[in-house]
Amino acid sequence: MYTSFVAFWASVISIWAYAVLAAGSQPESGAVDAGVPFEELARHASEDDCWMAIDGVVYDVTDYIPRHPTPLAVMTPWCGEDASEAYRTKGYGRPHSPAADAMLPEYRVGPLLRDD
Amino acid sequence: MASKRTKTRLAFAVLLVLALAPLVWVWWRMGPLPPTEPGPLLRALGRAAGVTGLTWLLVAVALSVRVPGFDPWFGGLLRLWRAHHLLGAGSFLLLLAHPLLVALSAAPDAPEAVLALLTPPWRQWPVWAGWGALLVMMMFLAPTFSFFGDPRYQRWKMLHRLSGAAALLGVVHAVPLVQTLEPAQAAWLWGGYGGLAAVAFGWRTLLSRWLARKPYVVSADEPLAPGVVELTLEGPPLRFRPGQFVYLTPLDPALAAGRGEEHPFSLVSAPHEPALRIAVKDLGDASHALMSVRVGSRATIEGPYGEFLPERHDRPALWIGGGIGITPFVSAARALDRAGGPADVVLIYCANDPSRAYYLSELRDIAGRHPGLRLHAHYFADEGPLSAEFLRARVPDVAQRRVYVCGPLPLLRLAEGLARQCGVAGKDIVREEFDLL
């Protein structure tokens, strides 16, 4: 029991240390800090080139689509669209898991620019 | 006998179903086959560990309920609490694995998300509730598993009450986060298990004080030997069987320690006697103070509990009692003395020397009056530890007897080994140990 208690904290500390070190050495991805106009978002509207806006931020989820737990047809209609509502109300009308929240920044492109 | 075993099997079968039903339900909702890719597989395992860990935590809380009449279904309070202990330990291991598995499930897709999953922003408060539950579990389980040295009984008991907070935080964590169930299903599942745990916890910490503890008065205290007294308690009649025990809470304001604390004691009186009698050995602060509890002071009794000795003497038996562990057999011998009837019992009274065999003369008198009870004394100081030769010489038909042992742990282990050596089957050896009751 004591061993597993110690092993648990050792693992948590390792994950934390890894994250701190990885953050220091992470090259900036091709983020567009100036913002993504809606027309640009709408151009990436296929399964092979899929951007989505969620809560005002645009993500390039092309690489993630094959790994998403639901069938393709659930996700692809939202390519090139503002998918905030769909993200908040997946199956059974509940939001995505903290896991999804945590993974999203990986795919960030930049803030969505509104027309107005 | 058969019906008793059936009852116990039924109770443990119900327990098994309760412990595994949520896992089966969630697994079935996730799909029949586990995913093969590492990310989804780790996530599925993490969810399974979380669901099962929380289930076991809630069932373990429910099992700590201690209601008179409930524990015999499980073969006595000791076996019930062994189940509680195993479920609690299993739950702790699973709940330690749960956050690590869920966090690492993000590693193949998004390595940076691993830490973010463990320490998300505050708006993900259900995740932090889960952390709260785990930290509280570490606090109240630290003394149970001796993380930081051996526990003190009362502090261990106080800390164990934190289990209620851990269970509550666990439910708060799980209801919004269980991804595989519809929200209403999740609320029903965790509401049901949480409700069961809450009822048990409420009974244990609040209601049992008023409803299960009965008022008694200490009416006599008879010193049996240095450091051992027999207390007589008068109060409402209590239905019990020899071999059962009660929780005594002394309320004498003059006590130096242990006032208002409950401790388990075997009953040494026979069921027909008008008053209850217990034997107290000086083993710690609270029992030391009880040596000088005042006659006329108040106390409460909760019980009876336990499922050690059978109701009827329908099989030849060998009783082995050592030290204060002689107490259940004293009650049984007194009952035999009073009720008469057929019996075939050999009692081996293990003591260090004659001065520590404080019930021997009374037991000898009873054995002289009842042909069904034979008595042998074994003195450690003269003969060393109990041996197979001693058993075979005094009890030649030992292999045909059901063996009941009560005493300190080394004696229990020794006697069990010797009984097996003499040809007694494992299922015919019954041990009673008072370990952290």
In B105-253, the DSSP E strands lie at: 214-225, 228-234, 245-250
pLDDT at position B56 is 97
For chain A, say whether B251 makes contact (Cβ under 8 Å): no
pLDDT range class, residue B156, cuts 50, 70, 90? confident
Chain A, chain B: beta-carbon pairs less than 8 Å apart: 89
Residue B253 pLDDT exceeds 50: yes
CB-based contact (8 Å) between A55 and chain B?
A: no
Give B306's pLDDT tier (boundaries 50, 70, 90).
Answer: confident
Q: Is A105 on the interface with B (CB under 8 A)?
A: yes
Three-state DSSP state, B242: coil
CB-based contacts of B208: which residues, under 8 Å, 6+ apart?
A: B66, B67, B302
Would you call B336 helix, strand, or coil by DSSP? helix
Whether B112 and A69 lie within 8 Å, measured CB to CB: no
In chain A, residues with a C-beta closer than 8 Å to the C-beta of B137 are none
Hey, are the CB atoms on A103 and B113 less than 8 Å from each other?
yes
Query: Is A94 part of the contact surface with chain B (CB cutoff 8 Å)?
Result: yes
Give contacts of B40 with chain A, Cβ < 8 Å. 67, 69
Alpha-carbon torsion B294, B297, B303, B304, what sign? positive
Residue type, position B103, single letter: A
B187 CB within 8 Å of a chain A CB: no
Residues contacting B378, CB < 8 A, separation 6+: B348, B349, B350, B351, B386, B390
Per-residue model confidence as pLDDT tens digits over B176-223: 888 778 888 899 999 999 999 999 999 988 888 888 999 999 999 999
Q: Is the ipTM of this complex over 0.85?
A: no
Q: Give the residue-averaged pLDDT of A83-95.
A: 75
User: What H or E segment, with its residue span, contains residue B181?
Assistant: none
Tokens of B220: 């006599």
C-beta atoms of A105 and B113 within 8 A: yes
Q: What is the mean pLDDT of residues A48-69?
A: 86
Q: What is the dihedral sign for C-alpha A12, A18, A23, A26? A: negative
Predicted TM-score of the model (pTM): 0.81
Which token pair is B130?
A: 């889960």
What DSSP letter does each residue of B295-318 carry, written as one string? TT-EEEEEEEE---S-SS--S-EE
Distance of CA B47 to the CA centre of its chain: 30
Count how many Cα atoms sit within 13 Å of the Cα of residue B109 in the half-sphere of its side chain.
31
